[in-house]
Each structure stands twice: as C-alpha cells, then as structure tokens.
Structure 1
C-alpha cells in the first residue's frame, strides 16, 4: 500500500466525519424540524467541521475564491466529490441543490436536504426529469436562496470529459436569473470514491456572472467553456495535468 500513514489518517478522518454528521443531525433535529434556518445552521456547522478536521487530520486545506453570491441566482457548478458540495454550501447564505431523488432516503443527508429546500429529481427519462425539475423549482420559487445545479449531472473525475446536460440551460431559461458558474479542483485530493485523501489545497472558485437573457445554446456553450477552462487551471495549480488522462 502506498502512503500507509496517510491512508490510515484518511480512514480516521472519514469515520469521524460521518460520526459527526450523525451527532450534529441528532443535536440540531428539534430546531431543524420547526425551522428551515435550524436545518441550514446544522448543515453549515457540518461544513465547517469537515473543513477544519480535513486540514489538520489529513493535511487537506480548502479555499473558496471569487465572490460567493448572496442574492437569488442559479449556481451551475463542476462536481468532482463531496467536498465541493461542502465548500459551495458553506460559503453562501441559503443554498439548495438539485439532487438525485434516491438521496432522499440517505440517513441524515436526505432529511436535511429536504428541510433546506433541495429539489429531488428522478433521473430516469431525461425529458421527464427535466419537466419534473422545472415544475418542482417553480413550486418552490417563493423560497429565497441560491439554487445549485451540477451541470454535468454527476461527479466527474479529474481529467475526464463528460458533456454538460441541458438541465442547467432549462433552469437558466425558466428562472430568468443570472447564473454564477463555479469551478473546482477538489477531485485531485478527494476522489469520487474511496478512502484516501491527498494533502494539498482544494479550491472552489466562483466565476464572473453570466447575465440572464442569453438564448439556451449560447448560455450552455459559455457555461461549459468557462467552467472547464477554470477547473483545468485549478487542477494544474494543484499539480494535476487534466490533459494527460
């Protein structure tokens, strides 16, 4: 096994992270049941805990660059691992995700995701999923906050090229809101699957706003170009060449 000490530290980190999730979920449950703010405070407390423990337990520091949005916008982000969820949600006031419907049944995560206003989507047939997503978002339009969608629809390992899905364009067109793209390199240090966590500096970067009003095709082309270029830059900064995979 390569780097056995770091692997052991990673294992301890992962175990305590999920234990902390359970403890915080129980401690904050009464407040979360009666107040969406209570659920958000619980989730943000968990985000801070993970970032703090990752820094000293496995040497994985984290940083949020750019200007995290404060008003009602659509955030279209690159998704590489659980860590980019933590960095994005922890840096904005009222984030809510477009999420896979099956996550509703995940212990703690599912219950709190629904309490903070996340929108579950069945990813069976694409057209039906997009229609359902639009209807769910429309029904929740009165809830202020930042709606976060992962434009590729899934976690994508560093260096892999996966096309951007039309759902981000549908929401951009429907909501009529500005979009804040978000790039990341977190997958270099925290993989999609597995225990090992690599030391270094994991970054999520909020990019300049894409204003409302573009046609869907122009928006999608600009979103993909800007997020992929910025993510490649961040990965190279971390010592990973995305073009070498």
Structure 2
C-alpha cells in the first residue's frame, strides 16, 4: 500500500509542478523555474516520508564550504536528485539527454541551466559537459554530477568517469563526495518502496591539483566506502566492499 500511495503522490506532484514550471518558463530569467523545482523536490521528500515511510537524514552539513563546489554523488535511486536538490537548491545538475524525450523537458532543462550531455558519451559529450559546466561556474553555481553515469543497486558500482576531474581542474572547484544508502528503500527505478531512514552524507572535500587516476581512486574509495558503511548501519550487517559492475 505504501508503494501505491507514493506512486499516486509522485505522479500528481510531478505533473502539477511540471506544468507550473512550464508556465513560469515564459518569464525572464531562471529564478522563477528554479523556485518551483526547489518546492517540487521538497514536496517529494515530504511524500517519501508521508506515503512511503522513507525518512531522510542529512549528515555532514558542517563539511560544506561557502563557495561553489562540485557535488559528486552516489546514484542508487531516482530519489537521489530530490534529496540533494531539496537540501542544496539551485544546483546546476548534469543529466543525460534521455530526459529530453519527455514533453517540454528540453525547455525546462534549458531554463534551469541544466548540463545536458549525450548518454552515449564520446568527444561531443565531453565538449558539451565542458561548455555547459563553464556557464554554471561563471554564474557561481554549484554543480551536481553522478560520476558513475548510471544507476546502481546498493553494494555495486560502475567505473568512475573522468568528467568530474576535468571540471574540478578547469574551474578550480573543490569536489564534495556524497555517500548514500537510499537504494535500500527506493532502489533505482523500482516501484516498491521500503520504509526506513535513508541517509545522504556529505564527505570531506577533495581539492583541485591531483592527477586524474589518483583523484578518481580517492573519490571512488570515499563514496563507495562510506556508502557501504551506511548500508551496514541500516541493515545491521558487516561492512563489505562494493562490487564493480562492468558497463
């Protein structure tokens, strides 16, 4: 029943706020649409708690620094974005171009200043990532990116991609790793929701200046290590290493 009630709330909120954002997209500037999306994400976190029984706990706020940064997040669930954006609004988030297939989404993503890249990767995707990230950095906005570029089940990970390293060095922005165990309660795109307390945790920032391989190793170890700690804490099981899933 929890999953059904949340599904109803999910679509009702999504349709309502999407239409509101579309109407406001005709106004000049980005702020009206960003305001609606911030409210949407907060309402979705409320719906997670009220209908699905998933409470959100945010840890590590004291590690956040007062300057634009790159948030590099573990990606367990469709709910990750709601949790992060409701905590730190007006992020310039990196997303795949698959979202543009939905009606009006291309317009809204452009209005929000989202960084849309080709899901297939390649040189063109890297160029788009660089140019659109530069726009966000110039505006003094923080950036949200999922360095694996893919949803993963709890306890698994994919190869960490180098785009986040290029952004860090190109714009001299610290990278804040973000761990989570949300996938235990809302896994990937699954319909079923499991009540419990989901945690997102901001970890120690990584400063620019590292080599690509050293940076990606440190980023992966911090995100995967702490995500596994959070999973073990929630399940009462021993901490085990996450398992690499090949693309």
Question: Whole-Å Cα distance in 1 between the matches of residues 14 and 73 of structure 2?
Answer: 24
Q: Is 1:178 aligned to residue 174 of structure 2?
A: yes
Question: Whole-Å Cα distance in 1 between the matches of residues 32 and 66 of structure 2?
Answer: 19
Matches within 5 A, 1:185-196: 185-196=181-192
Question: Whole-Å Cα distance in 2 between the matches of residues 25 and 125 of structure 1?
Answer: 28
Indicate which of 198, 201, 204 corresponds to 1:208. 204
Secondary structure of 2:138's counterpart equals: coil
Tell me, which stretches of 5 or more residues in structure 2 are unaligned? none
Q: How many residues align?
A: 238
Write out per-residue CA displacement over residues 17-64 of structure 1, whole angstroms, 9 at most, x where no aligned residue: 111111122234433432311111111111111111221212111122
Q: Which runs of structure 1 show a deviation greater than 4 angstroms over 4 or more consecutive aligned residues?
A: none
Write out per-residue CA displacement over residues 149-192 of structure 1, whole angstroms, 9 at most, x where no aligned residue: 10111111111231211111121222211111111111110011
Question: In 1, are the aligned partners of 2:92 and 2:136 still within 8 Å (CA)?
Answer: no
Q: 1:36: which partner in 2? A: 30
Matches within 5 A, 1:57-136: 57-67=51-61, 68=64, 70-107=66-103, 110-136=106-132
Q: Is 1:17 aligned to residue 10 of structure 2?
A: yes
Deviates more, 1:181-190 or 1:114-123: 114-123
Secondary structure of 2:71's counterpart equals: strand
Indicate which of 141, 158, 183 corresponds to 2:154. 158
Question: Whole-Å Cα distance in 1 between the matches of residues 143 and 71 of structure 2?
Answer: 6
Q: Is 1:55 aligned to residue 55 of structure 2?
A: no
Question: In 2, are the aligned partners of 1:173 and 1:215 still within 8 Å (CA)?
Answer: no
Question: In 2, are the aligned partners of 1:9 and 1:58 still within 8 Å (CA)?
Answer: yes
CA pair 140-45 structure 1, distance change in 2 beyond 3 A: closer
Write out per-residue CA displacement over residues 70-91 of structure 1, whole angstroms, 9 at most, x where no aligned residue: 5311111111111111111111
Tell me, which stretches of 5 or more residues in structure 1 are unaligned? 1-7
CA pair 20-161 structure 1, distance change in 2 beyond 3 A: closer
Question: Whole-Å Cα distance in 2 between the matches of residues 173 and 119 of structure 1?
Answer: 17
Write out per-residue CA displacement over residues 105-125 of structure 1, whole angstroms, 9 at most, x where no aligned residue: 324655433322111101324
CA pair 110-14 structure 1, distance change in 2 beyond 3 A: farther
RMSD: 2.1
1:215, CA displacement in angstroms?
A: 2.2
TM value normalised by structure 1: 0.88
Q: 1:5: which partner in 2? A: none
